[in-house]
Structure 1
């Protein structure tokens, strides 16, 4: 006859076994000695304490109940410690990322996972305070690191030191920033470091912080300077616990509205389920390269990498990010509805260029005869199709200006060729003299 197996499983005890335990009151404490003793360690076996109903009455066996409560408390503490190891999830409280919740995205899941894990190595989190009071928090990314001096630079949004945002209209320039705000950089290894402001630019809302920190591993991101509407991208940031917040989506086909500056592009996800304040986080392509920096304004906007790369290069070379004020607002014909584009082609024989949406009063553009509704086809002999391309051209012109030994607050000539639709397609060449400024 086969010998019965005397090993007890973890399932519920029989009534007979429970009664047997009721006449052996020391069994609760002794069977869980590794949890009851005060010197328990995380590496000891994880066993959930059990007590029979007859022993759970507070007045029946108080010493047994006390031992059980102690064992239960230590079990829960140990369970919590295991949860902190990340690869365990006993509590069910883990908040997964929102990346790829649907089966339609399974074909790119592995590719996207690799891209996110690559990009995440460069993403940190920042928090700010002023006069001892919390100001805000955001994400950021490393762009420089000196291994010898253990000093690096983090790029983020200037929102981290913004103290007042009185109007949604960015063009009014009424936001207030305080360079004296204290900024803490939260690193991937769980430590923190002080961020020292090196420079911030209010038009592009970018800020650079120096970080001194020994004995950490820093990974610098790669940038892809091209990003296009409809491109599949991933939005990556960190929450207050430094956990990744990941959302898949696409670059939206959209012109900036009249309150937003020309250099914005937009991230689209139908759920809009971002679970952290991810300003300063990365927009990446499926190759893991950065194609934008999140800078939420109205509609999940981000600064595209073409502007970021030029901004970083200008700051590294000249210590500032200069730009030109044209005194006009534009929208791109290219980003209009297809039927709208076709109608303009039928009526005016034009399907590309920038539509003048506003002209500043008494500006040089107005004095040159440019009006609302005109179409600007080219600047400095270069055909321009989007407002992003316009910003890039203006930044390149500023770079040439500085390379020639000039400085801020000087004049630059910009030629433009406008088409007046009100005057039956009359071409209007004009020369604009604009100030170089980093405001």
Structure 2
């Protein structure tokens, strides 16, 4: 019996020593954390493309007081903040874009969020502080905080990616993520021919044919075949597994906050989809019965909104939205944000200020078209 116990003890000792052997942790020996990545990124050219963006991809964790990781998402490096200090000539801080969900506390039974950690590709961990959030677009801009251990990011493996404008429908893209162990993950898919609002009624999202790489892929970059970041990926928890917010929309929001400390978004109170995305037989009916070839179908009107008071109803078709007729919903959103940016550049008044949008609204039941001037308020929408 004593001999058996001695053998067991010796076996445990040897196993413990083997586990600490650094040779067991070499990339030539270990298995990848996410085996599905190999299925979606297999060719040398695809691997080179993904790696060209990889140093722009970080992990963002919300952390409880006891150090427990509450949630893990992905972030994108979108800029730098070079700050002069008395003690150092220059300190470089990275600005990280991620999902606003990293700050949400969905479950009251879970620990409260105490801090944010930003985990870099080389497993360096930095603290993150919130610069601003926007709940409508589900984005948060963070900045790395300096410490005595890693005060300067110039020697750390981060780089600013190149940005595209908007992804195109049916375009093949990669959705990238970084796990909480700093492991890189990727999925490949296409932008679907689909433009309905998501579960929360947001119009500007485009939907992906693939899932994002696990829960932590929420907030990661969507990359085209030129290596440009064209959007940020979200887990929608809806009929389509994932969606992306266009890079052009994100960059406009960041520009607004950087220059004016707020985001001015025209809140028109309408959930829309386009005639262009209708099923083809229904498109034919719209053309033959109503002479409608393009426009925006009203799926919902916000209760108590100016649009409701002016008589815009569910199933109406906006055939001209301030002169726009054939824009996709993401491009319509960019147009509305451009109005907000112009407003911020031209005035110092508060967020109750309005702008008038000229609409041509077709009623398919009454078969009539009328002109409506819709006053729209500029909303900050939960900016910090």
Q: Provide the C-alpha distance between the structure 2 equivalents of 1:398 and 1:266, rounded to a whole number of angstroms.
A: 25
Q: Which has the larger radius of gyration?
A: 1
- 5+ long unaligned stretches in structure 1: 1-57, 167-177
Deviations 1:53-97 (A, max 9, x none): xxxxx969x99x89995995487346x5223221223xxx43454
| Mapping for residues 241-252 of structure 1, pairs under 5 Å | 241-252=181-192
Q: CA separation in 1, counterparts of 2:366 and 2:216?
A: 48
Q: Distance in 2 between matches of 1:353 and 1:165?
A: 41
Give the match for residue 87 of structure 2. Answer: none
Match of 1:101 among 35, 39, 57: 39
Q: CA–CA distance in 1 between the matches of 2:27 and 2:215?
A: 19
Q: Report the CA distance shift for 1:268/1:88 in structure 2 as closer, same or farther (over 3 A).
A: same
Residue aligning to 2:156: 216
Q: Gaps (5+ residues) in structure 2? A: 83-89
Q: 2: distance between equivalents of 1:189 and 1:135?
A: 22
Once the two structures are TM-superposed, the CA of residue 165 in structure 1 deviates from its matched residue by: 7.7
User: Among 281, 285, 307, which residue is 2:224 paired with?
Assistant: 285
Normalising by structure 1, what TM-score?
0.74
- Is 1:228 aligned to 2:168, yes or no? yes
Structure-2 change in CA distance of 1:231 and 1:208 (3 Å): same
Shift in Å, 1:279 = 0.8
Question: Which residue pairs with 1:12 in the alignment?
Answer: none
Cα distance, 1:131 vs structure 2:
4.8
Q: Which moved more, 1:373-382 or 1:194-203?
A: 373-382
Larger RCO (CA under 8 A, 6+ residues apart):
2
Q: CA RMSD of the aligned region, Å?
A: 2.9
Whether the 8 Å contact between 2:120 and 2:158 is mirrored in structure 1 is: no
Task: State the distance in 2 between where 1:74 and 1:165 align.
Answer: 38
- Kindly report which structure 2 residues correspond to 1:227-306, keeping only aligned pairs within 5 A, or say none: 227-254=167-194, 255-257=196-198, 259-269=200-210, 272=211, 274-297=213-236, 298=238, 299=240, 300-306=242-248
- Normalising by structure 2, we get a TM-score of 0.84
Label 1:67 to 1:155 Cα distance change in 2 as closer, same or farther (>3 A). closer
Alignment check: 8 A CA contact 2:166 2:231 kept: no
Say whether residues 1:356 and 2:298 are aligned partners.
yes
Which of 337, 345, 354 in structure 2 is aligned with 1:411?
Answer: 354
- Tell me what 2:86 maps to: none
CA contact (8 A) 1:100 1:248 kept: no
C-alpha distance 391-66 of structure 1, shift in aligned 2 (>3 A):
closer
Secondary structure of the equivalent of 1:293? strand
Name the count of aligned residue pairs.
358
1:156–1:208 contact (8 Å) kept in structure 2: yes
Deviating runs (4+, > 6 A) in structure 1?
65-68
Give CA deviations for 1:213-265 in whole Å, capped at 9, x if unaligned: 42424200111102111110011101121111111111112122464311211
